Amino acid sequence: MTLLTNHLPTAELQAIDSAHHMHPFTMGQGLREKGARVITSAKGVWMRDSDGAEILDAMSGLWCVNIGYGRDELAEAAARQMRELPYYNTFFQTTHVPALALAQKLAALAPGDLNHVFYASGGSEANDTNIRMVRAYWAAKGQPERDVIIARWNGYHGSTMGGASLGGMKGMHAQGGLPIPGIAHIDQPNWWAEGGEMSPEEFGLARAQQLEAKIQEIGPERVGAFIAEPVQGAGGVIIPPYSYWPEIRRICDAYGILLILDEVICGFGRTGEWFGAQSYDIAPDIMTVAKGLSSGYAPIGASIVSDEITGVLDGIEFSHGYTYSGHPVACAVALENLRIMEEESVIAHVQNTAAPALKEAWESLGDHPLVGETVIKGMMASLALTPDKSRRAAFASPVGTVGTRCRERSFANNLIMRHVGDRMVVAPPLVITPDEIEILITRARKALDECFELLRAEDLYHSA
Ligand code: PXG
């Protein structure tokens, strides 16, 4: 058996990591000095590190471990599938049972006429599929000039060339010459930071109408699709005002533009329904899914596609696919994950127990002197750190200075709560209990208190 090195002292593990492992979105030098935290095992919402600390993971890994850690059934499903058929591809007019069974299941769960599944290994790959699929669709319909896809600033759609181009993270665009041609961006519906004097509803409408303005600027005959997350996740859990989505759907209909909903975070119960599409009553033409599809136990993503698009693509060969499109082990794990979600009524637990408890607890943080708005949709929540709630003020320090301190205090209190700029974010496993939510909030409040003290000690408690 391969030797795993869990038994080594933490410092040795960190030294090996530092010597050989390149981390995503990380400044190597800073990490090298500090040493990475080594996670060794996990169960439910709890993780353990190599020093034995018990950490409450309020981020579900990276927004993905929806059913919680340590479910043997998923390990069994993977082992069973590996023994029976560890790999085969779905090219060359071939299929296998895990791929077709999961496609059938996803078609049944997905709203409307989204009845067809194109597999990938994660969300970025699935979004790359979407770019090529949308362009192939319009070309097959005799409108190849409809190659522009509109997306949003501060949206996140992955880290591949296509995914990062769709995303609206300027820091990512700055590395590697992005975005690729044919991608345009409009502003996000972030009322707290950008809403000015408008009411949230007026602002939501105004931000949706930017889509119409952008279509007219580019030329309606050039625009193929609009892509967005129902609720922006990596952008800081930005929950759109209720006026936003109906107006977006109206505009897409008016111009005959495809709507791609990126459900990589929102899908599989995160917003309180199976999909964000259902939480906001939006009918998409394509949905991107990943993460919660397998609760992160195996890498898998997919594009779930409408009858109309599939019907058109049936007339051409869509020259696209990955070695691991429909990987049998990942499909088997996803199927088992969905079985557990259904049989254990995980979404009902969210609706009736976890989301109401988290909402009450999260909103109670609103009385803290550092906290501006607290927002929550289902099991994804954020709060704005501010030096002055009444003005929705930003800090004078560079964005993220305060958020980083708050995250550090959170980690020091064995709570995984993230920061995005100066917003704090949680998205715990959907199976979290009310008692665990209480621990989460006690630790979050302690982190806020300690952060507040730090800001005063460092003279950072000032508005811009
Ligand atoms: N779409 C959305 C909405 C996502 O959140 C992706 C696509 C890409 O999926 P893959 O599986 O290729 O990573 C994501 C991923 C963060 C963070 O810091 C968020 C993601 C990934 C890594 C970090 O919040 N989301």
Residue with CA at minimum distance from ligand 1 atom 24? 234
Residue 21 counted as domain residue: no
Distance 169 CA to ligand 1 centre (A): 12
- In testing the pocket of ligand 1, which one of 62, 119, 232, 271 has its CB within 8 Å of the most ligand atoms? 62
Note whether 290 and 268 are within 8 A (CB).
Answer: no
188 in the same domain as 130: yes
Ligand 1 neighbour 158 (Cβ under 6 A): yes
Low-confidence ranges of the chain (pLDDT < 70): 1-6
Ligand 1 neighbour 243 (Cβ under 6 A): no
pLDDT on residue 214 = 98
pLDDT on residue 440 = 98
Distance 157 CA to ligand 1 centre (A): 6
Residue 9 counted as domain residue: no
Check which CATH number belongs to the domain holding 208 and give it: 3.40.640.10
Ligand 1 neighbour 290 (Cβ under 6 A): yes
DSSP H or E stretch at residue 310: helix 307-313
pLDDT on residue 5 = 55
In DSSP terms, which residues pair with 385 in a beta bridge? 371
CA distance 367 to 140: 56
CA distance 109 to 126: 18
Ligand 1 neighbour 234 (Cβ under 6 A): yes
351 in the same domain as 311: no
CA distance 90 to 141: 26
3-state DSSP call for residue 160? coil
Residue 10 counted as domain residue: no
pLDDT on residue 6 = 67
CA atoms 155, 156, 157, 160: torsion sign = positive
Residue 27 to residues 30, 33, 168, 344, 462: CA-CA distances in angstroms?
6, 11, 21, 41, 28
* Secondary structure letter of residue 240 according to DSSP: P
Closest ligand 1 atom, residue 124 Cα: 12
pLDDT on residue 7 = 77
Ligand 1 neighbour 265 (Cβ under 6 A): yes
- pTM as predicted: 0.97
pLDDT on residue 452 = 97
CA atoms 151, 154, 155, 160: torsion sign = positive
288 in the same domain as 417: no
Ligand 1 neighbour 128 (Cβ under 6 A): no
79 in the same domain as 46: no
Among 291, 321, 343, which residue terminates a domain? 343
